[in-house]
Structure 1
Amino acid sequence: MPLPHLPTLLARRAGLPGEGTTVYRAAHTTETDGLFTLDVAGDAGVLSLYADLSPEEETRLAAACGEAAGLAGIYLKRRPVEARHAANVTREWLSPPEPIWGEARAEIVALENGVPLLIRPGADLSIGLFTDARPARAWVREHAPPGGRVLNTFAYTCGFGLNAALGGAGVVKNVDLSRKVLAWGQENYALSRLPAQGTDFLYGDVFEWLGRLRRRGDTFDLVILDPPSFARGKSGVWRAERDYPELAGLAADVTAQGGRLLAMTNSASLSGPSFERLVASGLTQGGRRAHLDTRLHPGEDYPGATHLKAQVWALD
């Protein structure tokens, strides 16, 4: 197994992503010939593999990454093409709870632009934060409507909602289908000494909640859409490239006049222009006039990345 020259690769991150951030991508697939990524949170590393390696090769790569980056321990995530389908039956193989190299770090409080966030390197395939969305979270904090209302859908551990609250929003509602990650989000709020009332963390299907909020007459000055590119639910299979217009239309129903919609996707099969057409189609179907205001991209620790599309739409 040929390895890239890790010290040289990791040296490219010198000065990135900047002061006040201790969770970031240290090596991206564009720099490792698609073999692996390395994420850093504090003094722990998370090695994600996109190729089949022997146990000896896995350990050797983990040790090389840990030593080159000066980390205390490395956790392994195996990410075969069909990992999203296999996760429920082979979770411990995909994401071993103990480090493959070095010392254990069950929980780490890392910083993103000065905001403390709880990271659990061995908890699951997702460790508590998707670092490619850091610029989008920064945008939300900077542009949160002062005293206004924000709806954060597919909230995960509520990073977007937290930044909206820190940016001065008066009401922030976080919606997710997992009670576990919403509770995790409440812990993130507590780290910033923000109130985490249960009524602001809404458990359930996002589509059902969007319909419920519309029937209530609730509207929001900023709506955030960050769905998975693929998911199975009780209503069937969700695919971003097919179903995003419906989602955008439902979101338009609860976006206030003059409000904004932050629409995101990590679907590698969608180009930026294709995604733009999907969102525009959904907003039109929802009866709203809108224009694309801002395009956001992954940070500098994701060189050459094209998977994430984040677009801010202004609605009339």
Structure 2
Amino acid sequence: MQDASQLRPLLARRAHLPGEGTTIYRAAHTTETGGVFTLDVAGDAGILSLYAPLDPGQELALAAACGEAAGLTAVYLKRRPVEARHAANVAREWLSPPEPAWGEPRAEVTALEGGVPFVIRPGADLSVGLFSDARPARAYVRGAASGRVLNTFAYTCGFGLMARLGGAEVVKNVDLSRKVLAWGRENYALSALNAPETDFLYGDVFEWLTRLHRRQEHFDLVILDPPSFARGRSGVWRSEKDYARLATLAAGVTAPGGQVLALLNHAGVQEAAFERMVEAGLHQAGRTGRLGVRLAAGEDYAGARHLKVHAWTLDKGPAGS
């Protein structure tokens, strides 16, 4: 079990990030803690995620050590057993207590990523408002976005926000939760971006992709950031089995010469297998593509290989043909 003195060297490796305008990051990853926990910093709040069972005294001691080492105001606890995704609806307050395990309550903080502010709610749920491992992918979007962008599985619209800041003319954010889309609008407002309601599309991503294809709407960049597992109106989604189908639908709304940015958060799927899935999906749509850019989680994730990010440039044939 780490104490404050053992955590400080890990924090020192990330000390440059706030100076670069990033105050939400992974301060300690499982590869550095024996698989027991991770610590995320968001402004002056910490999010301590546990992947091994600890007794209440151990939890409190670890939260205090994290808070003291990182100079935080509060540390919130997230318990993440293997079965967490199934227990989330019946044990939500146990998995993600709304009050801090250590320190003073910080129900909401504003944290920065590359100088861009985001609303973070450390005690709200297992997901606090931004997945910091995708920071390199969001930076890529900010640099590459132009024209029309479709941001699927938008969550709090981090990719959509970066696309707008990067100069995209139109950005459509799609998610099955009205709550997170409203949260995304708060993030837009922090950057003084105005967007019409029609830029925040509520509903099933698969249904929206089909609908947009029928309308012959095409986008210069389509962002795919699905969960690894989900149940929805379209059935059960498992990224390791179903990604090709998603790529097929995405290809149907990607403009000739446009890009598909495909993200996969699944440690069990190798880079080569992911590439084959996307390529098969494009082929099913009658498209071909060139894989030009590969990204992974940021440096603060200490070499983790769970996240794969592939940017595909599609052929100049008719979209969706």
- Other structure's SS at 1:16 match: helix
Residues 206 and 234, structure 2, Cα contact 8 Å, conserved in 1: no
Aligned residue in 1 for 2:253: 254
Residues 219 and 255, structure 1, Cα contact 8 Å, conserved in 2: yes
- Other structure's SS at 2:301 match: coil
TM superposition shift of 1:250: 0.3
Q: 1:68-110: CA deviations, max 9, x gaps?
A: 1111110000000010111011000000001000011111111
Question: CA 1:17 to 1:266, structure 2 compared with 1: closer, same or farther past 3 Å?
Answer: farther
The TM-score normalised by the length of structure 2 is: 0.96
| RMSD, aligned CA | 1.1
1:1-316 equivalence runs, <5 A? 1=1, 5-16=6-17, 18-145=19-146, 148-316=147-315
Residues 164 and 170, structure 2, Cα contact 8 Å, conserved in 1: yes
Distance of 2:265 and 2:179 partners within structure 1: 22
Query: Between Structure 1 and Structure 2, how many residues are aligned?
Result: 314
- Other structure's SS at 1:127 match: coil
TM superposition shift of 1:158: 0.1
Distance of 1:41 and 1:10 partners within structure 2: 13
Residues 117 and 188, structure 1, Cα contact 8 Å, conserved in 2: yes
- Other structure's SS at 2:140 match: helix
Distance of 2:51 and 2:264 partners within structure 1: 20
* Percent of residue pairs bearing the same amino acid type: 73
Letter in 2 for 1:83: A
The TM-score normalised by the length of structure 1 is: 0.97
Distance of 1:151 and 1:232 partners within structure 2: 22
Residues 35 and 51, structure 2, Cα contact 8 Å, conserved in 1: yes
Residues 17 and 300, structure 1, Cα contact 8 Å, conserved in 2: no
Distance of 2:2 and 2:185 partners within structure 1: 43
Residues 156 and 185, structure 1, Cα contact 8 Å, conserved in 2: yes
Distance of 2:151 and 2:281 partners within structure 1: 18
TM superposition shift of 1:9: 2.3
Distance of 1:133 and 1:311 partners within structure 2: 12
TM superposition shift of 1:14: 2.2
Residues 204 and 234, structure 2, Cα contact 8 Å, conserved in 1: no
Question: CA 1:26 to 1:180, structure 2 compared with 1: closer, same or farther past 3 Å?
Answer: same
Residues 50 and 80, structure 1, Cα contact 8 Å, conserved in 2: yes
- Other structure's SS at 2:300 match: coil
Letter in 2 for 1:48: S
Distance of 1:237 and 1:187 partners within structure 2: 30
Q: Which runs of 5+ in 1 are unaligned?
A: none
TM superposition shift of 1:298: 1.1
